[in-house]
């Protein structure tokens, strides 16, 4: 929304790297070991992740077109461990 789509993409990639084996975000992650701490799944974290992917798609013309035809769901599906294939 601030016109910094590349920064947002990098931040989203960092967040995706923290997803657990079943594609869920943990409440907390140990900075040294990367171990999940606390409770999960966190509904609000999952919803905000999807919202961020959708907002980023709106900022990029090709992703916006993909969103309109439903292809962007593949990215979310892959990140959540359910999708297969490439965008």
Number of domains comprising the chain:
1
Does residue 18 sit within a domain?
Answer: yes
Q: Which of 11-15, 27-31, 71-75 has the lowest mean pLDDT?
A: 71-75
Structural domain including 58 reads 5-79
pTM above 0.85, yes or no: no
Does residue 11 sit within a domain?
Answer: yes
User: Residues with Cβ < 8 Å from 26, sequence gap 6 or more?
Assistant: 18, 20, 36, 37, 38, 39, 40, 42
Does residue 87 sit within a domain?
Answer: no
Does residue 42 sit within a domain?
Answer: yes
Does residue 85 sit within a domain?
Answer: no
C-alpha pair distances (Å), 72 with each of 26, 42, 55, 64: 23, 22, 11, 9
19-68 pLDDT, tens digit per residue, is: 877 778 888 888 898 888 877 666 788 888 888 888 888 887 777 777 66
pLDDT at 12 over 80: yes
Does residue 44 sit within a domain?
Answer: yes
Does residue 86 sit within a domain?
Answer: no
Which run of H or of E encompasses 45?
helix 43-59
> What pLDDT sits at residue 41?
66
> What pLDDT sits at residue 82?
58
- Per DSSP, the three-state class of 2 is coil
Does residue 14 sit within a domain?
Answer: yes
> What pLDDT sits at residue 45?
81
């Amino acid at each position: 929304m601030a016109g910094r789509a590349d920064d947002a993409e990098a931040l989203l990639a960092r967040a995706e790297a923290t997803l657990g084996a079943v594609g869920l975000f943990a409440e907390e992650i140990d900075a040294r070991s990367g171990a999940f701490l606390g409770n999960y799944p966190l509904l609000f974290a999952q919803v905000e992740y999807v919202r961020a992917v959708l907002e980023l798609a709106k900022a990029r013309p090709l992703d916006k077109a993909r969103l309109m035809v439903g292809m962007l769901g593949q990215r979310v599906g892959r990140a959540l461990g359910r999708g297969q294939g490439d965008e």
